[in-house]
């Protein structure tokens, strides 16, 4: 009986604790709600359309809650006007991200009690009219700041040396203000993005920790030192390590000269050998007819060359040889290209045999070639491998692929079937693959992939895959990855290789380590639509992070791309996920975070948790529309301010 009483007492205490916790959470959320309504009353009027009758602010536009607290507040370009009063932010103690960017009529100093939001990680206040000195609370109280953007305001005074205390700080944008003094005492070794340009009164030397930053980030100032011109009396570090010639003896100089000459001769010989070797092996355009003629004489040798991937072949070389062998051996298969639909047959197999061609690359299902026909037509030809289907089954499956027609899918124009060779003829996409664009040359001359391009590619690819899924519940792509997202001359995305997983044997399909395969997929020839969604989620993460999932081992523990992104977000370092090139566009960080969340949703571990592709396409379209509206609003506000500033005063 005593045990029962004790149990009842313990249960009652636990119930009371739960009730108190729930009451406290409700009280905190109510305080958040009151603070937001006070903010709207002070600076927004009716421009922020929140339903004041709603008990919870978590469904309000621009508000995101976590654990029943307001964690994110985003009101970009909402025509907020006036000065933010004291007494609002002390109630928003769980706030992690604050974005009030491009509200050009927000004025006055920042409220000092903003420093009480000690959970803040990301602060975006660019494009407003805040004034006064940069508040000390940014570096004295907000110790976990990762991104701070105060650009395009009217801040004065010096750049606080207290920023050195923020060890997690990765972005500090202070350009287009009225700052003065020096920055030589700044020591920000972990900074990725820094900009103080167009602060004309900034002077002195650029500190060593910031000399890795591009010189454009210091333009419009009186600063000196690398990456700008050297300060007066400063010696370039590169010059300081050059030994003085006066300290070298005549014998040492002679030895250096002789050694240099010998090294140069050896280097030239090596280059000559490498050049000759590459000349015999490099990928080049060839006359296909000539190679085909040789192939008829020695079909097995030519087939071996193709399989070895030496890069000296056209997509249609092998059929000429194998047709002859097939005819002798009673083989089956037509010697004609089979075209789809009512497309004019501008070429035939013979024209393809005469075309010059070059290897584009080897993929999951075979080797792709660029074939330039005599008539000036350029096509892409894929030579399939490991296809053992009988002719009737092959034709049924490939004709289903050829019947698919959508602006975001690479159209299959024709095919060729022979017992030994199967060829697919596609439209040629001149800008190559998304994979090459993302992971290719990152040096000088590269055109960065900005938010507009990446989100457009994401939307087009989503629409193409959603269209495939709309053809039937059993229809899937089966091999979604960045190398299968091709780009036309306008950088519009086209999804390729759809339907080919049904043609090839298991040996030709990628193994699970490629990073795109959904965890539930065991047979690569049987990929569900939900598995396609997983692969597309990985593709979105690749677009946002710039990391190739095929590398798989992003950390020493071997965490794949989805789990790595989830862990970063869970640790509240969301901004650390994004590709550096993408972060240059600070006008779309909210949309980037939304797309990141969509990518994580798509790459959920359990298939039932993943959204359908139709919903994925719709959500991407909505966030792109939101990004465009934000940009248009900010432009309109800027133009309106210019008109007001230039309006004539009373006469």
Write out the DSSP string of 73-117. Answer: EE-TTS--EEEPPTTSGGG-TT--EEE-TT-TEEEEPPPGGGGG-
Q: Are 366 and 416 spatial neighbours (Cβ–Cβ below 8 Å)?
A: no
Residues for the chain: how many in total? 651
**CA proximity to 107, closest of 126, 131, 87, 89:** 131
pLDDT for the residue 74? 87
pLDDT tens, 421-473? 888 899 999 899 999 888 876 655 566 788 889 999 999 999 999 999 998 88
Exposure of 493 in the CB half-sphere (CA atoms within 13 A): 23
Please check the confidence at residue 490 and state whether its pLDDT lies above 70.
Answer: yes
**CA proximity to 471, closest of 405, 394, 397:** 405
Residue 646's contacts (CB-CB under 8 Å, 6 or more residues apart) are: none
Q: Are 358 and 285 spatial neighbours (Cβ–Cβ below 8 Å)?
A: yes
| CA–CA dist 428, 559 (Å, integer) | 36
Residues making up the annotated binding site are 382
| CA–CA dist 490, 15 (Å, integer) | 63
Please check the confidence at residue 576 and state whether its pLDDT lies above 80.
Answer: no
Report the pLDDT averaged over residues 393-422.
88
Out of 345-359, 372-386, 598-612, which region has the weakest mean confidence (pLDDT)?
Answer: 345-359
pLDDT tens, 13-53? 444 444 444 445 567 899 999 999 999 999 986 668 788 88
In what helix (H) or strand (E) does residue 236 lie, and over which residues does it extend?
A: none
pLDDT for the residue 28? 87
| CA–CA dist 265, 557 (Å, integer) | 47
Residues making up the annotated binding site for ATP are 382
Confidence of residue 388 (pLDDT cuts 50, 70, 90): confident
**CA proximity to 613, closest of 547, 533, 511, 516:** 533
The sign of the CA dihedral 591, 595, 600, 601 is positive
| CA–CA dist 479, 484 (Å, integer) | 8
Q: Which residue has the higher pLDDT, 246 or 630?
A: 630
Helix and strand counts by DSSP (H, E) for the chain: 16, 23
Confidence of residue 109 (pLDDT cuts 50, 70, 90): very high
The sign of the CA dihedral 67, 72, 75, 76 is negative
Q: Are 177 and 151 spatial neighbours (Cβ–Cβ below 8 Å)?
A: yes
pLDDT tens, 325-339? 333 333 344 568 888
pLDDT tens, 159-176? 999 999 999 998 899 999
| CA–CA dist 427, 404 (Å, integer) | 14
Please check the confidence at residue 313 and state whether its pLDDT lies above 70.
Answer: no
Q: Which residue has the higher pLDDT, 329 or 150?
A: 150
Average pLDDT for the chain: 77
The sign of the CA dihedral 139, 142, 146, 149 is negative
**Angle, CA of 593, 599 and 602, to the nearest 5°:** 145
Confidence of residue 317 (pLDDT cuts 50, 70, 90): very low
User: Which residue segments constitute the domains of the chain, with CATH numbers given?
Assistant: 29-224 (3.80.10.10), 431-633 (1.10.510.10)
Report the pLDDT averaged over residues 295-319.
35
In what helix (H) or strand (E) does residue 359 lie, and over which residues does it extend?
A: strand 356-362
What SS3 state is found at 339? strand
How far lies 223's CA from each of 66, 217, 228, in Å? 43, 11, 8
DSSP secondary structure string for all residues of 107-148? EEPPPGGGGG-TT--EEE--SSEEEEEPPTHHHHT-TT--EE
Token pair, residue 69, equals: 């607290």
| CA–CA dist 288, 312 (Å, integer) | 10
Report the pLDDT averaged over residues 249-260.
71
pLDDT for the residue 141? 94
Global pTM reads: 0.55
What SS3 state is found at 170? coil
**CA proximity to 309, closest of 366, 349, 379, 356:** 366
| Residue 552 CB neighbours (<10 A) | 14
| Residue 204 CB neighbours (<10 A) | 16
Q: What is the phi/psi pair of residue 342, to 5°?
A: -100, 25
| CA–CA dist 651, 360 (Å, integer) | 71
| CA–CA dist 629, 625 (Å, integer) | 6
Q: Please give the order of strands across the beta sheet that includes 222-224.
A: 81-83, 105-108, 129-133, 154-157, 178-181, 201-205, 222-224
**CA proximity to 602, closest of 544, 530, 522:** 530
pLDDT for the residue 117? 95
**CA proximity to 88, closest of 107, 105, 106, 113:** 113
pLDDT cut 70: percent of the chain above it: 73
Q: Which residue has the higher pLDDT, 128 or 589?
A: 128
DSSP 507: G
Q: Which residue has the higher pLDDT, 321 or 191?
A: 191
> What is the maximum alpha-carbon separation in the chain?
105
Confidence of residue 513 (pLDDT cuts 50, 70, 90): very low
- DSSP H helical segments within 440-560, as ranges? 451-470, 529-545
């Amino acid at each position: 009986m005593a045990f029962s009483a004790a149990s009842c007492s313990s249960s009652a205490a636990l119930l009371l604790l739960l009730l108190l916790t729930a009451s406290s959470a409700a009280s905190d959320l109510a305080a958040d709600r009151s603070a937001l309504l006070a903010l709207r009353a002070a600076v927004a009027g009716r421009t922020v359309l929140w339903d004041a009758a709603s008990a919870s602010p978590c469904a309000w536009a621009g508000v995101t809650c976590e654990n029943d607290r307001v964690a994110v507040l985003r009101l970009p370009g909402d025509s907020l006007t006036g000065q933010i009063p004291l007494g609002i932010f002390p109630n928003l103690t769980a706030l992690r991200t604050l974005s009030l960017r491009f509200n050009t009529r927000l004025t006055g100093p920042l409220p000092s009690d903003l420093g009480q939001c000690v959970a803040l990680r990301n602060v975006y206040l660019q494009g407003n009219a805040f004034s006064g000195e940069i508040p000390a609370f940014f570096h004295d109280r907000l110790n976990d700041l990762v991104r701070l953007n105060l650009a395009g305001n009217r801040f004065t005074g010096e750049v606080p040396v207290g920023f050195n205390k923020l060890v997690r700080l990765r972005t500090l944008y202070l350009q287009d203000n009225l700052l003065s003094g020096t920055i030589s005492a700044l020591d920000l070794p972990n900074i990725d993005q820094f900009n103080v340009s167009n602060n004309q009164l900034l002077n002195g030397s650029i500190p060593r920790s910031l000399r890795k930053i591009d010189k454009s980030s210091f333009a419009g100032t009186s600063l000196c030192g690398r990456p700008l011109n050297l300060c007066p009396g400063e010696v370039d570090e590169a010059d300081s390590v050059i030994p003085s010639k006066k300290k070298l003896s005549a014998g040492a100089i002679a030895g250096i000269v002789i050694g240099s000459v010998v090294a140069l001769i050896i280097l030239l010989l090596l280059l000559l050998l490498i050049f000759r070797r590459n000349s015999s092996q490099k990928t080049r355009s060839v006359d296909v007819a000539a190679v085909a003629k040789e192939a008829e004489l020695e079909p097995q040798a030519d087939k071996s060359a193709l399989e070895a991937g030496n890069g000296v072949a056209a997509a249609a070389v092998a059929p000429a040889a194998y047709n002859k062998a097939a005819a002798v051996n009673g083989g089956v298969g037509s010697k004609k290209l089979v075209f789809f639909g009512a497309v004019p047959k501008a070429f035939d197999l013979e024209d393809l045999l005469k075309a010059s061609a070059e290897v584009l690359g080897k993929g999951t299902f075979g080797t792709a070639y660029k074939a330039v026909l005599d008539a000036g037509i350029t096509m892409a030809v894929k030579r399939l491998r490991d296809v053992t289907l009988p002719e009737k089954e092959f034709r049924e499956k490939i004709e289903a692929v050829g019947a698919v027609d959508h602006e975001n899918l690479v159209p299959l124009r024709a095919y060729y079937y022979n017992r030994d060779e199967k060829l697919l003829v596609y439209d040629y996409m001149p800008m190559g693959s998304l994979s090459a664009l993302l992971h290719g040359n990152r040096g000088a001359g590269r055109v960065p992939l900005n938010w507009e391009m990446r989100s457009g590619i994401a939307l087009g690819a989503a629409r193409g895959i959603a269209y495939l899924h709309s053809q039937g519940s059993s229809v899937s792509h089966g091999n979604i990855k960045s190398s299968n997202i091709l780009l036309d001359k306008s950088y519009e995305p086209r999804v390729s290789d759809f339907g080919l997983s049904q043609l090839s044997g298991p040996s030709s399909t990628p193994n699970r380590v490629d990073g795109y395969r959904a965890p539930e997929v065991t047979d690569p020839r049987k990929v569900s639509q939900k598995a396609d969604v997983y692969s597309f989620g990985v593709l979105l993460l690749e677009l946002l992070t710039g990391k190739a999932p095929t590398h798989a081992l992003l950390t020493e523990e071997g965490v794949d791309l989805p789990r790595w992104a989830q862990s970063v977000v869970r640790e509240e370092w969301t901004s650390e996920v994004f590709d550096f090139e993408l972060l240059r566009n600070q006008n779309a960080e909210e949309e980037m975070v939304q797309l990141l969340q969509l990518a994580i949703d798509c790459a959920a571990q359990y298939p039932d948790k993943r959204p359908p592709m139709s919903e994925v396409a719709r959500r991407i379209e909505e966030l792109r529309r939101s990004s465009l509206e934000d940009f248009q609003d900010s432009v309109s506000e800027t133009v309106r301010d210019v008109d007001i500033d230039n309006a004539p005063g009373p006469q």
